[in-house]
Amino acid sequence: MPDLTVQDINVGSPETREAAGLFNIEAGEEPRFIDVTIRVRNASDHGLYVISSIRRLHYDSATGILTIGLQESGPVEAPGFVVTHPVILPTFTLVPAKQSGTVRVTVPQIIHRIVSFEATAEGLPEEQLDISGLRQVRCIIAFGDTPFEPEAGADPQAVLRQLSSWGDAVEKTLRPKRESA
């Protein structure tokens, strides 16, 4: 059994929140977000740090599975695409030895997914995925004995590679419990 296990997942009701620039408020679009609470259990004899900020998000509308990646998947591999801006490092939550802990993330009800890195006059082409019909949540959570620290002087691509190989990971797909607003 791994040191860290996912025990359950709770999904809240969609709530309207401010989201600068993502929605056309004048046209009546409302930015709605869903809180997801993931309960994990640390079976080890020492504290474990888990990534507690979303690194990857995907929704499969055919299966109703929302994938929440609390693990870095590495640099984007696309022809001519190079990360030159500083990498935003994840946040971490400490789960004490032999105890349970929670990770709470907020996901948009409408995910704007880039479908190609070939820009048009309107920008990068995207599709909009409405997750309100989600049936299951798949979590991938990276964890380690210490929080991730990049090597001094590493370029952004190297930092992403280091982060993607940091620690171990646990994965679980569950039917979430629904919380009322």
Could you report the per-residue pLDDT of 112-134, keeping only the tens digit for each?
A: 777 777 777 777 777 888 998 89
Distance CA 123, CA 102 (A): 37
pLDDT tier, 77 (very low <50, low <70, confident <90, very high otherwise): low
Q: Token pair of 39, please?
A: 């309960």
40 DSSP assignment = E
pTM of the model: 0.83
- Collapsing DSSP to helix, strand or coil, 73 comes out as coil
Helix residue ranges per DSSP H, the chain = 156-164
Q: Are the CB atoms for 105 and 70 separated by under 8 Å? A: yes
Determine the structural domain holding residue 23 and report its residue range: 4-178
pLDDT tens string 25-36? 555 556 788 999
Query: What mean pLDDT comes out for the span 66-85?
Result: 76
Residue labelled with tokens 């999904």:
11
Name residues whose C-beta falls within 8 Å of residue 153's C-beta, 6 or more positions apart in sequence.
Answer: none
Three-state secondary structure call for residue 166: coil
DSSP 109: S
Burial code (b: 16+ CB inside 10 Å, e: under 16) for 118-143 equals eeeeeeeeeeebebeebeebbbbbbb
User: Is the per-residue pLDDT at 171 higher than 60?
Assistant: yes
Q: Tell me what pLDDT residue 20 has.
A: 46
Q: Where are the beta strands (DSSP E) in 131-178?
A: 136-144, 168-174, 177-178
Report, as an integer, the average pLDDT of 157-174.
93
Give just the sign of the alpha carbon dihedral 149, 52, 31, 110.
positive
User: What residues contact 110, with CB distance under 8 A and at least 6 apart?
Assistant: 32, 128, 129, 130, 131
Number of domains within the chain: 1
